[in-house]
Structure 1
């Protein structure tokens, strides 16, 4: 079974489109028979996508560090939940268990996970596809900055070789593998 690691917020954010897109992505993954690998929470966008995958008959693997079990309210309804020692182990396992990654709106943790995965991709530690879901223009500023990195000659490869920016879930479905 193919699997996708999804990085996203443990909060919903201000724009309802973030949650709507998380739910739509969960449905898409379940319909395509792709297992969700994610941070293991039951709240925010994390909870929304996991619940959507489950609702549509899909498989879910959560990976959560001991530190965040109470804070993120680990999801007890998923098929597989790994409780790990720390954030480093969590990120390593999230990368290892996914065949590709999709980044939804999120805060510092989501950005940390995305940039580490992009760095590992650039260093050829892996060659997994990375999709940035720019729901409601959430990542417009970041995409502009990433393009600036390329324009200034600070990247080793063209930006689109490392990350695919899409504006809606339907665009991912067309490109996924």
Structure 2
């Protein structure tokens, strides 16, 4: 399965890198392909290393203004003109999406895939990996949106919140019939 992972390119604390590395190793051992922003820095590097070192493939989609940070040695690397094209290509190449910890770019990517799902433009499974409670506030906001009628579909049909890497991958494999 091609799994798109949206995540930070920043160097982060062990409480974030350790679970990300664990998820990456599970992906690689499971024969999955990482589809990611292509950077060889920070958490993006941690995940790419983990996937590649355990036998998985790497498909990167960088963007022109970040091309200097693109990972050498990826199985495939594409450079998009801008962030909108990058998101489109990432989603086209993916069978499923995992959102790990990140900043505004990661949040933008997450809300775009959820909006596409909400309107029936994709049926790809989406997981928010809630490492160290990072997305507790967002989960609460989504629940409020659902409770107050802002979501025309159940929250559970849009996104699965996983607290641990193994649960995230298990959900994706089950959703894609790979169990």
Q: Indicate the TM-score class for this superposition, using the shorter chain for normalisation.
A: over 0.9
Which digits, 9 at most, give the CA deviation of each residue in 1:35-74, with x for residues without a partner?
000000011111110011111111000001101123xx11
Instruction: Name the SS of the counterpart of 2:11 in structure 1.
Output: coil
Gaps of 5+ in 1: none
TM-score under structure 1 normalisation?
Answer: 0.95
Q: How does 1:38-49 map to 2 (within 5 A)?
A: 38-49=36-47
- Alignment match, 1:125: 121
Which digits, 9 at most, give the CA deviation of each residue in 1:79-115, with x for residues without a partner?
1111111111100011111100000000000000000
CA distance in 1, matches of 2:61, 2:86: 6
RMSD: 0.9
- Alignment match, 2:20: 22
Which digits, 9 at most, give the CA deviation of each residue in 1:107-152, with x for residues without a partner?
0000000000100111111110000000000111111111110111
CA distance in 1, matches of 2:125, 2:55: 25
Match of 1:79 among 67, 75, 79: 75
TM-score under structure 2 normalisation?
Answer: 0.94
Runs of at least 4 residues of structure 1 off by over 2 A? none
Instruction: Name the SS of the counterpart of 1:69 in structure 2.
Output: helix
- Alignment match, 2:143: 147
Q: Is 1:165 the counterpart of 2:164 in the alignment?
A: no
- Alignment match, 2:10: 11
CA distance in 2, matches of 1:161, 1:114: 15
CA distance in 1, matches of 2:115, 2:158: 9
CA distance in 2, matches of 1:119, 1:68: 26
Instruction: Name the SS of the counterpart of 2:34 in structure 1.
Output: strand
Displacement, 1:17?
A: 1.8
Partners of 1:12 and 1:18 within 8 A in 2: no
- Alignment match, 1:135: 131
CA distance in 2, matches of 1:168, 1:12: 20
Displacement, 1:32?
A: 0.9
